[in-house]
Amino acid sequence: MAKERMLQFVTVEREMPEKRPADLRAQDFHEIYREFAAQKAAEQASRCSQCGVPYCQSHCPLHNNIPDWLRMTASGRLEEAYALSQATNTFPEICGRICPQDRLCEGNCVIEQSGHGTVTIGSVEKYITDTAWENGWVKPVKPAVERAESVGIIGAGPGGLAAADMLRRKGFQVTVYDRYDRAGGLLTYGIPGFKLEKPVVMQRIDQLEASGVNFVMNCKVGEDLSFDAIRGQHDAVLIATGVYKMRDVGGPGVGQKGIVQALDYLTASNRKSFGDEVEAFDNGDLDASGKRVVVIGGGDTAMDCVRTAIRQGATSVKCLYRRDKANMPGSRRETQNAEEEGVEFVWLAAPKGFAGNGAVEGVMVQKMRLGAPDATGRQTPEVIEGADYVEPADLVITALGFEPEDLPVLWGVPELAVTRWGTVKADFQTHQTALPGVFAAGDIVRGASLVVWAIRDGREAADAIEAYLAQPASVAAE
Ligand SMILES: Cc1cc2nc3c(=O)[nH]c(=O)nc-3n(C[C@H](O)[C@H](O)[C@H](O)COP(=O)(O)OP(=O)(O)OC[C@H]3O[C@@H](n4cnc5c(N)ncnc54)[C@H](O)[C@@H]3O)c2cc1C
Ligand code: SF4
């Protein structure tokens, strides 16, 4: 019944809003949706075969106790399911929404392997925690004992916030510094709202503030406050700054109006959803509405750009990728979503430059074929000579990935060891860097990765910081 009502609602809303029956008003939607979600969650949870070989659990970076919380959900014990789920995951409702489950828990579900379609673990996880929020089961942290030691966390993304939560639970005084005006890192300004609604992120930030986490926003470490000053103010420091240096496209015509970087484009769109004034969006530069949009890249960020452009009302959206569909680095599910929404993929196509006379008019494309495998076994794209053409575009968005900023130079700390890729060197279990009392977590250590891994790192780093602060001062300083 709930499903029928929901479908009726969606169909009427989409196809003939003027004929919406009087008993089916927008305010009913939430109620209908909740009923539908409850039914769906119970249905999916009861599909779990409790197989005894929980590959789903071992392929979840947080090793969530999935079979047990599915069993509890199937039998209506939602508060217990929530308690179990949040014991291993700081932000289950966020992971439930945006983990690439097809590559993690759901991709390893035994039922999926046997060809009967995976249990939709992520949506059940989301349902459990959304219900917990609605029922007031998610409470601010009240540590049993307050401790005098303080920890400074640089970066308010999922890595930093997961550590902040765990450290407050242990009673430490926690201050999080971030250069943005809002906390959340890429949860707030990178990932689009149609995948992760912003109120879902903001309620977590509010909860952390209510738990006693002190946020210092609009504070760019290295410019507004030195790294040494932060070290001087705290007994331990966690670096969780993510990776933000965007890889660029070269070639003639670069730098023209209308060629923009993915994160600038997505940040502007996310800021608008908060109601902010964004000059570069309001003057049309970062708005895809009415434009022919070409996105360059084949990862998840590219998928977020094409799907955002569709929602902004672009007249056409194409995605150029230099390999073929089978070799796309992004999530299959995301690519499929984009295709269903009307995005056209141009496989085996690499940008060579840009046409236009000050304002971009198109992307100069080289057609590619896949040649011999490289050392990693992946086929190398090769240019097909004489097959170049221009793909018309009014807005080109480059989404070729991210690299770490040069923290030792930017922060004036050459002793902070980094890898040859520029990521901060940290012990993979304790997350301790080359500097005593300084730890690092998330993308700044792994390179561009996933939210769930940043959460795991942040939680582990909090444990390691606790152990470090428990040592006698002479040992800790070594
Ligand atoms: C567009 C996009 C979409 C994505 N979609 C997904 C997805 O669907 N699912 C998924 O699992 N992962 C996704 N990811 C990856 C995921 O967002 C990251 O792996 C994750 O956010 C990393 O967390 P983090 O805490 O390490 O860093 P971040 O989230 O990047 O947070 C770092 C924070 O540090 C702050 N900071 C940086 N330098 C300084 C400084 N000098 N001083 C003060 N503050 C500083 C930044 O402002 C930022 O708030 C996506 C990434 C992008 C770019
Ligand atoms: S955290 Fe991610 S991988 Fe783990 S169970 Fe949840 S959705 Fe799956």
Average confidence (pLDDT) over 251-265 = 96
The answer, yes or no, to whether residue 22 has pLDDT greater than 90, is no
Position in ligand 1 atom list of the atom nearest CA 305 = 1
Cβ-contact 126, 73 below 8 angstroms: no
pLDDT tens, residue by residue, 352-391 = 999 999 999 999 999 999 988 888 888 888 999 999 999 9
Domain ranges of the chain: 22-135, 150-244+403-470, 248-398
Question: How many secondary structure helices (H) and strands (E) does the chain include?
Answer: 20, 16
362 Cβ below 6 A of ligand 1: no
Ligand 1: distance of its center to the CA of 139 in Å? 25
The answer, yes or no, to whether residue 4 has pLDDT greater than 80, is no
User: In whole angstroms, what is the distance from residue 123 CA to residue 119 CA?
Assistant: 9
Cβ-contact 403, 419 below 8 angstroms: no
pLDDT tens, residue by residue, 28-73 = 667 777 788 888 888 888 888 888 888 999 999 999 999 999 999 9
Ligand 1: distance of its center to the CA of 431 in Å? 18
Strand ranges (E), 359-406: 360-373, 379-383, 389-392, 395-398, 402-403
Average confidence (pLDDT) over 126-138 = 96
pTM of the model: 0.93
The answer, yes or no, to whether residue 306 has pLDDT greater than 90, is yes
Give the dihedral of Cα atoms 47, 42, 90, 104; nearest 10 deg: 30
For residue 237, which ligand has an atom nearest its CA? Answer: 1
User: In whole angstroms, what is the distance from residue 312 CA to residue 173 CA?
Assistant: 43
The answer, yes or no, to whether residue 16 has pLDDT greater than 70, is no
Ligand 2: distance of its center to the CA of 143 in Å? 27
Q: What is the pLDDT of residue 259?
A: 97
Grade residue 18 by pLDDT with cuts at 50, 70 and 90: low
More confident position, 208 or 50: 208
Residue where the block lists tokens 């659990």: 57
Position in ligand 1 atom list of the atom nearest CA 244 = 30
Cβ-contact 55, 108 below 8 angstroms: yes
Looking at domain 150-244+403-470, its CATH architecture is 3-Layer(bba) Sandwich (3.50)
Position in ligand 2 atom list of the atom nearest CA 106 = 8
The reply to whether domains 22-135 and 248-398 share a CATH topology is no
62 Cβ below 6 A of ligand 1: no
Q: Which CATH code fits 22-135?
A: 1.10.1060.10
Q: What is the pLDDT of residue 19?
A: 55
pLDDT tens, residue by residue, 160-183 = 999 999 999 999 999 999 999 999
Average confidence (pLDDT) over 92-100 = 96
Looking at domain 248-398, its CATH architecture is 3-Layer(bba) Sandwich (3.50)
Q: What is the pLDDT of residue 48?
A: 85
pLDDT tens, residue by residue, 421-447 = 999 999 999 999 999 999 999 999 999
191 Cβ below 6 A of ligand 1: yes
Position in ligand 1 atom list of the atom nearest CA 184 = 49
454 Cβ below 6 A of ligand 1: yes
Task: Give the three-class secondary structure for 82.
Answer: helix
